[in-house]
Amino acid sequence: MTANLMSDRTTRNLRIAGWTLAIALLALPAVAMQFTKEVNWTASDFIFAGVVFAVVGGLFELAARASANIAYRAAVVVAVASAFLQLWITLAVGIIGSEDNPANWTYIAMVLIAISVSAVAQGKAILMARAMLVVLGVQVLFSALHLIDGHFTLVIDLFFASLWFLSSRLFARAAGEIANPA
């Protein structure tokens, strides 16, 4: 086993920890509702959160099956985390004003673009690296459009852009490690 690959035991432990975390996060609002009126989730809120956690967890599962390469798996975690955060924040409270502001659709579009270019890349590390650069470029473009429109979102847009960049570099590293095993 090389240092670039994750062991089956580590993979199994991380999968268990990930699904346990998802269940705990889903249970947290139910527990909080017992102690405060500030948290008031409906059944549809729990269903939506459950679907989102299942999709995110499913993507992590696919990454775990696609490659034992640590850089590849880390790249997927960073990309999925970026997409998840953009979607979650936008739908929960909105990044630009309230969640009802139409400008927030750019963040939902980012998630759809990331999914689309990833599908085209078919999970191939070098193509995924390029796909994440495309997503980074669109994120920067949307940030410029937000500024032109009078919305100062530069800080959060740069945060997300840095995640797309990190994911791209990790995929590129995974591609290099696959082509030239240590």
Summarize pLDDT for 18-67 with one digit per residue, the tens: 778 878 888 888 898 899 888 888 888 888 888 888 887 887 777 777 77
Residue 97, phi-psi category: left (phi > 0), alpha (psi -120 to 50), beta (remainder)? left
Same domain, 126 and 168: yes
CA distance 182 to 180: 6
Query: Is pLDDT of 135 > 90?
Result: yes
Same domain, 34 and 16: yes
Residue 177 has what pLDDT?
57
User: For tokens 């078919």, what's the residue?
Assistant: 122
Instruction: Tell me which residue of 63, 62, 69, 81 sits closest to 174, measured CA to CA.
Output: 69
Banded pLDDT at 168 (limits 50, 70, 90): very high
Query: Is pLDDT of 1 > 70?
Result: no
Instruction: Tell me which residue of 117, 105, 168 sits closest to 142, measured CA to CA.
Output: 105
Domain range enclosing 128? 69-182
- Rounded to the nearest 5°, which phi and psi values hold at 171? -65, -40
Same domain, 132 and 181: yes
Query: Domain for residue 2, yes or no?
Result: no
Percent of the chain with pLDDT strictly greater than 70: 90
Distance in Å from the first CA to the final CA of the chain: 10
The half-sphere exposure of 142 on its side-chain side, counting CA atoms within 13 A, is 25
Show which of 66, 83, 99 is a domain's final residue.
66
| Average pLDDT rounded to a whole number, residues 91-98 | 80
Query: Domain for residue 140, yes or no?
Result: yes
Same domain, 83 and 158: yes
Same domain, 148 and 132: yes
Show which of 39, 66, 93 is a domain's final residue.
66
Query: Domain for residue 1, yes or no?
Result: no
* 156-159: long-range contacts, CB 8 A cutoff, minimum separation 24: 156/95
| Average pLDDT rounded to a whole number, residues 59-82 | 84
Query: Domain for residue 16, yes or no?
Result: yes
Same domain, 62 and 73: no
Whether the model pTM is above 0.85: no
Residue 113 has what pLDDT?
95
Same domain, 48 and 79: no
